[in-house]
Amino acid sequence: MADFSTLYQRYARDVYRFAFYLCGNRSDAEDITSETFVRAWTSAEPIRTETVKAYLFTIARNLYLQGRRKARRLVELDERIADPQAGPLSVAEQKAKFRAVVARLQELPEIDRSAILLRAVEGLPYQEIAQALHLSIAAVKSKIHRARLAFADIRRSS
């Protein structure tokens, strides 16, 4: 193979023109052209001189196709769509609220705490809570009501 500068001077304009016609973008064509010559220069296999131009065009086309495959996987972000994740202030507020709820839970008598947890967290009906805690349904409803009242001020502050 001829030296690199001779190869570049001889074929760079042709490779650039070919790349530009493929992609229609000057910047992309320049990138494809540079990468084509880098790959040709660093290739482990020797280039037969009679096919250098075709070889360079093949590299350029493959680079273009590779870029198109990558571009298909990319999606433009719509700036109007809000970030679904909570911001740092919201996260801090949620953590503070969680700590307040846990602290308030600990203040409740154990039987009231068990009743509200079985209802609110586990979603059990009053009948099953009554059986689990060995209480009447009326007592369970009363305990859950009192527990909810204990959390009312936390809910209002949000």
Entry pTM:
0.46
142-149 contacts: CB < 8 A, separation 24 or more? 143/111, 143/112, 143/115, 143/116, 144/112, 144/115, 144/116, 144/119, 146/112, 147/108, 147/112, 147/113, 147/115, 147/116, 148/116
Domain that holds residue 69: 4-73
Does residue 133 belong to any structural domain of this protein? yes
Please write the tens of the pLDDT for every residue from 98-140.
888 888 888 889 888 888 888 988 888 999 889 888 999 999 9
What CATH number corresponds to the domain at position 113? 1.10.10.10
Q: Is it the case that residue 23 has pLDDT exceeding 60?
A: yes
Average pLDDT over the chain, rounded to an integer: 85
- Please report the pLDDT score of residue 49 as a whole number: 57
- 153: pLDDT confidence band, cut at 50, 70 and 90? confident
Last residue of a domain, one of 33, 57, 73: 73
